[in-house]
Amino acid sequence: MNRYNLSKSTKTALFFLSLLPLQWGLMWWFNLHPDDLELYYSPFFEAISTLQLYSLAWLPFSIGDVFYLFLVIWLAVLIYRFIKFKRNRLNRFISFLGFCALFYTLFNVFWGFNYYRRPLNQQLQLSSDYSTEALVEFTCELIEVANASHLSIVENDTSAVNFNFSKSEMQNLVFEAYQEPSNFPNKLNYPTENIKSSLLSLPLSYAGFSGYLNPFTKEAQFNSLMPQYKWPTTMAHEVSHQLGFAKENEANFIAALVCINSKHKYLRYAGLTFALKYSLNDIYKRDPELFKVMLADVNEGIIKNYKTSRQFWEKYRGPSEVIMKQIYGNFLKANNQPKGIETYSYVTALLVNYHNTYQLF
């Protein structure tokens, strides 16, 4: 064979690379026409996700994590071989690019187009903004409800709530919480529980992440090293990704909503205090003095739960967390979330405006 002839693997790679402009065109189109996304992509996504959720739920560990581990090893071997062997480098490089294009295509087909769904506030016909008055009113009410929820579990307002559940118990509770008909104007359809403890919990802690969805297998992983108090909202957040709510802030809103609506008092407590943290943060940004006054009304036990969670992350804080947050922020920016990881006050907008229309608690 002439050495300038294209090998079969190079031809395959070029085919996958040629799919890229098509995907970018679709993204551009869906961004302008989110109704077309709902019409053509969403039913496909729901069908394929349901199939994936059922087919992998029985596995006690995350097959997606095993796949990631193999991928890292394979990449390391590939880089080593590329450096060591000089023969046929161009073909091998094109094959590698083709593999990346295939990976990216699968990512978009299985999951990525969800980033172009119509924003949740528009779907729910809610404003994406709120006045300071509305925020203060909402937060005052939320403090009262969160304090009452706290005292429904512990006897004394200075005690932190001690969560003592097994992983599977908590996973089942979150699954049950998703079955509540009051969760959304249209009930969320989570067909089967498929939440798994991450096999990568330690590196995840150093990277500063509490959980993630594997877009290829649809398994939801949570960092099991985190204090249990954070498990319910993290699991509920990842489940919302499984259902196609791709954006971080929308997933956080759904996590709060589902946990607050739960009949289980520990989940409700986790959801209320999760929502409270967002609204107090926003009060702080707008009026630090008022923040101090309002914080004084929050039960000391709740603050202790916040501290446990903060102390956990401080223990692992380091350069890897900063680097990972930077990478993830750029990933979000590349996926239609222009503010990257710093988009969280939109969560408060959803909470405040949802409460005014549908009564969150």
**Residues near Zn ion (CB under 5 A):** 248, 251
Nearer to Zn ion, 193 or 250 (CB): 250
Q: Smaller CB distance to Zn ion: residue 232 or 301?
A: 232
Q: Which is nearer to Zn ion, 251 or 275 (CB)?
A: 251
CB of 204 to Zn ion, least distance (A): 13
Helix or strand or coil: residue 217? Answer: coil
3-state secondary structure 141-168: HHHHHHHHHHHCCCCCCCCCCCCCCCHH
CA distances in angstroms from 315 to 202, 312, 331, listed in the order given: 12, 5, 26
User: Which amino acid belongs to residue 72?
Assistant: V
> Nearer to Zn ion by C-beta: 98 or 215?
215
Written as six digits, the tokens of 342 are: 């710093």
Number of continuous H segments (helices) and E segments (strands) in the chain: 16, 3
CB of 229 to Zn ion, least distance (A): 18
- Work out how close the CB of 208 gets to Zn ion at its nearest, in angstroms, rounded to a whole number: 13
Contact 316, 205 (CB under 8 A): yes
Number of residues in the chain: 361
CB of 133 to Zn ion, least distance (A): 31
Residue number, 193 or 248, with CB nearest to Zn ion:
248
For Zn ion, the closer CB: 10 or 337: 337
Minimum separation from the CB atom of position 290 to Zn ion (A): 30
Smallest distance, Zn ion to C-beta of residue 237, A: 6
Nearer to Zn ion, 248 or 282 (CB): 248
Instruction: State residue 128 phi and psi, 5-degree precision.
Output: -95, 10
Neighbour-count burial of 13, counting CB atoms closer than 10 A to its CB (0-12 exposed, 13-18 middle, 19+ buried): buried
| E strand or H helix at 75 | helix 63-84
The answer to whether 231 and 170 have CB atoms below 8 angstroms apart is yes
How far the first Cα of the chain sits from its last, in Å, is 72
Least Å from the CB of residue 40 to Zn ion: 25
